[in-house]
Amino acid sequence: MHEELIMVEEDLQHICISSRKDLKEHALIRLILSTLASYEEIENFTKRDLGVANSIYYVVLRSGGKSRKSPVDERTFYVLKEVSKSSKKKVFDFTKEEIDRIIEKYSPPNRKYDYERVIQSVKLILKDCLLYEEGYLERFMEGKNIEWISDFLKDAHPMFSGMWDLEDEEVALDYFEMISKRIGSRDAAKISEVSNVSEDFVRRFIK
């Protein structure tokens, strides 16, 4: 189970990183990964649903006449803010089928994901945080106490600690080494093609 969980974390990191070549699709994936947003919440999301309070970046998500506040990491907030600039109202106009295709497109080799598999995988990671009791994930999804949720996610969610991005050199090295092992090659061009990261950047870490 532990090895499978590590692989799941690596898969989600790959989906996040490889989607960066398309800002709107990257924003969609970051929103799903950080908040577990439902299809309806994604469809209803507007630029007005971005906020900051007490140094916590958050989004407001709406579905079925209800709303919830969900913290997002700083990078996700600014990616969403950037992609929202060109939106008159709703930010995302993807159908359910298009969302599945986008996620599949950025899935790692031989490990295909869709929306539902991503949601279940993030839940698996959060539930594995042994410091938390039963019911914590449900409280997160209710979005009623943003300070508590923010603390929870900073401890339990890899995206909030920067582990699914490449700003930290150690994280970047580990990521490219992981891709190298999965494809059975240390060729920077091949790693670049799989990860959608520039070959020059890859060569900084893979010799």
Among 160, 163, 164, 188, which Cα is nearest to 176's? 188
Q: How many angstroms separate the CA atoms of 112 and 59, rounded?
A: 28
- Dihedral (Cα; 198, 110, 35, 3), 10-degree rounding: -110
Backbone angles phi, psi at 17, to 5 degrees: -70, -45
Amino acid making up residue 132: Y
pLDDT of residue 30: 98
What lies within 8 Å, CB to CB, of 109 at 6+ separation is: 182, 183, 194
Crossing angle for the helix pair 2-18 and 188-195, to the nearest 10 degrees: 80
pLDDT of residue 132: 52
What lies within 8 Å, CB to CB, of 20 at 6+ separation is: 26, 196, 197
Query: How deeply is 89 buried, as exposed, middle or buried, from its count of CB atoms within 10 A (0-12, 13-18, 19+)?
Result: exposed
pLDDT of residue 7: 94
- Per-residue tens of pLDDT for the chain, all 207 residues: 578 889 999 999 999 999 999 999 999 999 999 999 999 999 999 999 999 999 999 999 999 989 999 999 999 999 999 999 987 789 999 999 999 999 999 999 889 999 999 999 999 888 876 555 566 667 777 777 888 888 888 888 999 999 999 999 999 999 999 999 999 999 999 999 999 999 999 999 998
Q: How many angstroms separate the CA atoms of 110 and 3, rounded?
A: 17
pLDDT of residue 87: 79
pLDDT of residue 41: 97
Q: How many angstroms separate the CA atoms of 122 and 128, rounded?
A: 10
Two tokens, residue 136: 């914590």
| The CATH fold of domain 2-165 | hpI Integrase; Chain A (1.10.443)
Q: How many angstroms separate the CA atoms of 59 and 68, rounded?
A: 8
Among 61, 59, 81, which Cα is nearest to 71's? 59
pLDDT of residue 82: 96
pLDDT of residue 136: 66
Judge whether 80 and 50 are in contact, CB under 8 Å.
yes
